Amino acid sequence: MPIAKGSARRVKPYQIIQTITGIAFTLYLLWRLYTVLIGSPSYGADTWARFIIAGSILGSVYALIAIGYTLVYGILRMINFAHGDIMMIGAFGGYFTLEATKNIPVGGTTFSESFPFLAILAAFLVGVSIAALSGYFLEKIAYRPLRGAPRLVPLISAIGASIFLENAAQLLFGAQRRDYANPTVLTRGEGWTLSINGANVILPYTGVLTVVLSVLLMIALYLLVMRTRLGRSMRAVAENKQVAALMGIDVDGVISRTFIISGALAGAAGVMWGIHLGLVYHFVGFIPGIKAFTAAVLGGIGSVPGAMLGGLFLGLVESLGPAVLGISFQLKDVIAFGILVLVLIFRPTGIVGEVLTEEKV
C-alpha cells in the first residue's frame, strides 16, 4: 500500500468502521463469556476441562502445520496450498506402517503389540520421511520452475497440485476412511482419569503424546531456525533472496530444505492426527490445512513463534467457541473461517505483527 502508516492526519472512513466493529465484537464476546461462565452456566467445569484438553491437542497439531505454512511463506511469499495434503501423505505413511507392524508376527502376538513404542516410532519415521520427500518433490516440480512468474501462477499451480494429490490418494487408496491401528497400549479414548467437579475427565494417552511431541518438535524447530547455520540462511533468504545469493548462500538448496522441514512437520502432524483422532482418508488434510493457514496468519505470517501461538489459539477457540458463543457445533468450521476472514480484514499483520516488509514506492 503506498500510503505509509504512522500519521493520523487522514482518518479514513474504513478505519472508523473497523474500530467500531472491533469494539462491538469485543463487547459481545465479553457478554457471552459472562453469560456462559457466570450468569447462566450451561456447562460444568468438567465439560470446560474437556473442551480445553481437546482444544490444546488440536491446537498443537494445527501449530505444527502452521509452522510449515509460515516457513514457506516467509521464504517464497507464496501460500503452499498443497501443504494440507502433505499432512495427508504423512498420515497415510503412518497408517501403512502401523498396518504392517500389526501384521508382523512376533512371539505369539504382533510386532505392534510386543513393541508398541517402536511401532509408533516407526510410524512417525515413515510418515515424516514420506511427507518430507513429498514436500521436496512438490517444490521441485510445481513451484521451482515458476519462481519468477507473477504471483497468480504459482498459486494456481499449488491449487492444482493439491487437487492432484487428494485425488491421486483417493484413486490409490479408495475413498473410505481408515482407522489408525494403534497398539493396545495407546488405544484412543483411554487415558488418565482426572476428577473435576465431581465428574471423570479423561486425559487421553494419545493426546498427551501429541502435545508432548509437538512441543518437542516446536522447540527443535525454533532452535534450528535461530541457532543453526541453516536457520540463519533461511532467515537471510526470507529477508532478501538476491542479497543472500550474493552472500554465497545456495538459495535453491535453502528453499528445498525449507520445504523438506515444513513437510516433515506436516507429516508428523498427520501421524498425530491419525493416532489421536483415528480417521484418515484422502481429504483429511484439506480443512486442517486451511485452519492451520488461518493460525499462521493469526500469529503473523512469517513468524514461527506466531504460528505456534496462532495454532494453539485456534485449536482452543474452535473447541470452546461454539459453547461460548452459544451456536451449534455444526458451525465450528464457520468459526475458524470467520476468524480467518476477520483477521485478514482487520489485522492482516497478525497478533505478533508482521515480520515481512511492505512494498515501497
Partner 1 sequence: MTVALETRGLTKTFGGLTAVNAVDLSIQEHSIFSVIGPNGSGKTTFYNCITGFYEPDSGEILFFEKPMTGLPPDQVTARGISRTYQNIRLFANMSAIENILVGEHSRMRANWFEAILLTPRVVREEKAAVEKARQLLSFVGLAGLGDQQARNLPYGAQRRLEIARALASQPTMLLLDEPTAGMNPNETHEMTLFIRRLRDELGITIMLIEHDMRVVMGISERIAVLDYGAKIAEGTPAEIQGNPHVIEAYLGSGAASGIKPVARQLE
Partner 2 sequence: MKTLFRNSLKTGIVFGIITVFLFLIGFTGTAANLLADLLHNESAGLFLGLTPLMLNTAIFLGLIGLWAGVSGASREQDIPGDPFGAAALGGAIAGVAHGLPVGAAVWLIGGLNEQGVAMSTYLAELLPAAVHQFLLGLAPMTAGIFYLLFLTTAGAAGGLLNRVLGRGSRKTRAAIRNRLRESVESLPVLQSLRKSTAGRYAVYGVLLAGLLLLPLVAGQYWNYTIGTVGIYVLLGLGLNIVVGLAGLLDLGYVAFFAIGAYAMALLTAPTPHHLMWNFWLVIPIGIVLAAVTGILLGAPVLRMRGDYLAIVTLGFGEIIRILSKSDDLSDFTGGPRGVPAVAPPDFFGLPINNAIGFVYLIFLAVLLVIFVTNRLQNSRVGRAWEAMREDETVSRAMGINTLLQKLLAFAIGAAFAGLGGALFASRNQFTGPEDFNLMVSINVVAVVIVGGMGSIPGVIAGALVLKGLPEMLRQLEDYRVMVFGALLVVMMLWRPAGLIPSSRRKMEIGRDAGLVETAEEGRGK
> In the complex, which residues of this chain contact partner 1 (CB under 8 A)?
2-4, 6-7, 9-10, 361
DSSP 180: -
Q: Which is nearer to partner 1, 148 or 248 (CB)?
A: 148
- The closest alpha carbon to 267, from 124, 95, 60, belongs to 124
158 vs 277 by CB, closer to partner 2: 158
- The option from partner 1, partner 2, none interacting with 106 (CB < 5 to 8 A, set by class) reads none
Which partner, partner 1, partner 2, none, binds residue 162 by CB below 5 to 8 Å per kind? Answer: partner 2
Instruction: Give me the least distance between CB of 155 and partner 2, in Å please.
Output: 6
Nearer to partner 1 among residue 17 and residue 159 (C-beta): 17
Quote the least distance from Cβ 157 to partner 2, whole Å.
Answer: 4
Note whether 58 and 287 are within 8 A (CB). no
What does 107 bind: partner 1, partner 2, none (CB cut-off 5 to 8 Å by kind)?
none
Site map (CB under 8 A) of partner 2, residues 102-141, x = contact: ---------------------------------------x
Asked whether position 24 contacts partner 2 by CB under 8 A, the answer is no
* Binding partner of residue 220 among partner 2, partner 1, none, CB cut-off 5 to 8 Å per kind: none
> Contact with partner 2 (CB under 8 A): which of 160, 253, 326, 353?
160
Nearest alpha-carbon partner for 234 in 211, 220, 218, 253: 253
Nearest-angstrom CA–CA distance, 171 and 180: 19
Query: Is 181 a residue that touches partner 2 (CB under 8 A)?
Result: no
- Kindly state the cell numbers that stand for 30: 465479553
Rounded distance between C-alpha atoms, residue 98 and residue 18, angstroms:
50
Cβ proximity of 97 and 116 under 8 Å: no
Q: Alpha carbon of 17 to those of 14, 23, 25, 340, 343: distances in Å? A: 5, 10, 12, 18, 15
Place of cell 529477508: 239
Task: Please state the closest distance from residue 16 (CB atom) to partner 1, in A.
Answer: 16
Three cell numbers written together for 48: 470446560
Closest of 313, 230, 234, 286 to residue 58, by C-alpha:
313
Q: Is 78 in the site for partner 2 (CB under 8 A)?
A: yes
Q: Does 39 bind partner 2 (CB under 8 A)?
A: no
Q: Select 9 or 229, whichever has its Cβ closest to partner 1.
A: 9
Instruction: Please report whether residue 13 would count as binding partner 2 according to CB under 8 A.
Output: no
Residue 226 near residue 75, CB atoms below 8 Å = no
Question: Does residue 146 belong to the site contacting partner 2 (CB under 8 A)?
Answer: yes
Our finding on whether 348 is near partner 2 (CB under 8 A) is yes
Q: Strand, coil or helix: what is 203?
A: strand
Binding partner at 230 among partner 1, partner 2, none, C-beta below 5 to 8 Å by kind: none
**Euclidean distance between CA atoms 353 and 60, whole angstroms:** 21
Residue 96 interacts with partner 2 (CB under 8 A): yes or no: yes
Q: In 3D, which of 282, 314, 301 has the Cα closest to residue 58?
A: 314
Give the binding range for partner 2 (CB under 8 A) out of 110-118, 162-170, 236-244, 269-277. 162-170
79 binds partner 2 (CB under 8 A): yes
Mutual angle of helices 304-325 and 13-34, in 10-degree steps: 60
Which letter does DSSP use for residue 331 in this model?
G
What residues make contact with partner 2 under the rule CB under 8 A? 1-2, 14, 77-79, 96, 99, 141-142, 145-146, 149-157, 159-168, 170-174, 290, 293, 297, 327-328, 330-331, 333-334, 337-338, 340-341, 344-345, 348, 361
